[in-house]
């Protein structure tokens, strides 16, 4: 049985008393799509502190009666981390995290028509984990940026596509923690030497003061993301900075702890 879901959430299927998780895309529900002839100074950066909430009609969704009760949310709080017992043998073991997202996110039942008998669809709503940090990206960043601060970093380096949701979330989270952010963004060869503008995620990244370097898709494929971030890291070290490199998508062993927490929820 295959079920395709156009939501940025986890999908849980219940059938005949059994539960299993289906893989699906965990990413932001929507991205900002906006261009403007106005200068950046005319935008109110405080607006980024607003949280987006999505209204669900009772006919389409209902809350899960078994979801975890949310604890009071304390934004940007540094807190010690205690892993679940079943994951305590994994390495590296994080010592602490920063509260960047609104967790736990709720689980909603989705009343789809024409489902097979005894089948239910439940949605893990990571699209409401925040606004500019929405989706799964913030789960990884809570651990990655916690490690960056612990190592005394003063700036963050990461890489991705020209409209990378990970890069947008990293730029905003770094700003919250008073860290400079350097983004290497992959684009077409024709646009490498041009101003990338204020389209989509670029608007948010430039509002929070991220440093943007463009690289062509051809160079990206030839050199590789690890080599490109290493080159930028060396440049920053030579300038006396203390950079912390986050790989594409924040996908490494430390970032994986964000998903371990999602499972615990």
Average of per-residue pLDDT across 103-110:
92
Q: Which of 27, 28, 134, 164 is catalytic?
A: 164
What local confidence, expressed as pLDDT, does residue 76 receive? 84
> How far apart are alpha carbons 248 and 160 in whole angstroms?
6
Buried b (16+ CB within 10 A) or exposed e, 72-87: eeeeeeeeeeeeeeee
Confidence category of residue 108, pLDDT binned at 50, 70, 90: very high
Domains and CATH numbers, the chain: 96-264 (3.40.50.1100)
What local confidence, expressed as pLDDT, does residue 81 receive? 94
Summarised one tens digit per residue, pLDDT across range 71-89 is 455 788 888 999 999 999 9
Residue that wins the pLDDT comparison between 130 and 229: 229
Does residue 164 have an active-site annotation?
Answer: yes
225-230 CB contacts, 8 Å cutoff, 24+ apart: 225/159, 225/184, 228/159, 228/184, 229/157, 229/158, 229/159, 229/184
What local confidence, expressed as pLDDT, does residue 124 receive? 92
What local confidence, expressed as pLDDT, does residue 50 receive? 31
Confidence category of residue 134, pLDDT binned at 50, 70, 90: low
> Does pTM surpass 0.75?
no
Confidence category of residue 208, pLDDT binned at 50, 70, 90: very high
Among 175, 177, 184, residue whose Cα is nearest residue 46: 175
Confidence category of residue 135, pLDDT binned at 50, 70, 90: confident
Summarised one tens digit per residue, pLDDT across range 17-26 is 444 433 333 3
What local confidence, expressed as pLDDT, does residue 75 receive? 80
Average of per-residue pLDDT across 41-69:
35
Summarised one tens digit per residue, pLDDT across range 5-51 is 333 334 444 444 444 433 333 333 222 232 333 333 333 333 333 33
Count the neighbouring beta carbons within 10 Å of the beta carbon of residue 217. Answer: 14
Q: What are φ and ψ of residue 13, in 5° steps? A: -110, 130
Summarised one tens digit per residue, pLDDT across range 209-263 is 999 999 999 999 999 999 999 999 999 999 999 999 999 999 999 999 999 999 9
Summarised one tens digit per residue, pLDDT across range 149-168 is 999 999 999 999 999 999 99
Average of per-residue pLDDT across 134-161:
94
% of the chain beyond a pLDDT of 90: 62
What local confidence, expressed as pLDDT, does residue 130 receive? 80
Average of per-residue pLDDT across 57-69:
37
Confidence category of residue 64, pLDDT binned at 50, 70, 90: very low
């Amino acid at each position: 049985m295959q079920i395709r879901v156009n939501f940025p959430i986890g999908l849980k299927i219940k059938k005949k008393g059994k539960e299993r998780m289906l893989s699906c895309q965990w990413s932001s529900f929507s991205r900002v799509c906006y261009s403007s002839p106005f200068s950046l100074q005319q935008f109110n950066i405080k607006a980024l502190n607003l949280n987006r909430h999505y209204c669900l009609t009772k006919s389409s969704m209902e809350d899960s009666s078994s979801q975890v009760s949310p604890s009071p949310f304390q934004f940007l709080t540094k807190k010690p981390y205690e892993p679940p017992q079943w994951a305590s043998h994994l390495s590296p073991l994080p010592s602490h995290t920063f509260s960047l997202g609104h967790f736990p996110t709720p689980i909603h039942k989705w009343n789809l028509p024409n489902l097979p008998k005894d089948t239910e669809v439940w949605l893990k709503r990571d699209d409401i984990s925040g606004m500019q940090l929405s989706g799964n990206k913030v789960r990884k960043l809570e651990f990655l940026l916690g490690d960056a601060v612990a190592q005394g970093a003063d700036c963050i380096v990461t890489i991705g596509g020209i409209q990378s949701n990970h890069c947008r979330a990293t730029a905003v989270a770094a700003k919250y923690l008073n860290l400079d952010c350097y983004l290497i963004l992959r684009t077409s060869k024709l646009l490498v030497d041009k101003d990338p503008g204020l389209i989509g995620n670029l608007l948010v990244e430039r509002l929070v003061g991220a440093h943007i370097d463009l690289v062509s898709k051809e160079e990206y494929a030839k050199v590789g993301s690890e080599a490109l971030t290493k080159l930028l890291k060396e440049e920053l070290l030579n300038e006396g900075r203390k950079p912390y490199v986050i790989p594409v998508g924040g996908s490494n062993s430390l970032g994986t702890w964000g998903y371990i927490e999602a499972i615990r929820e």
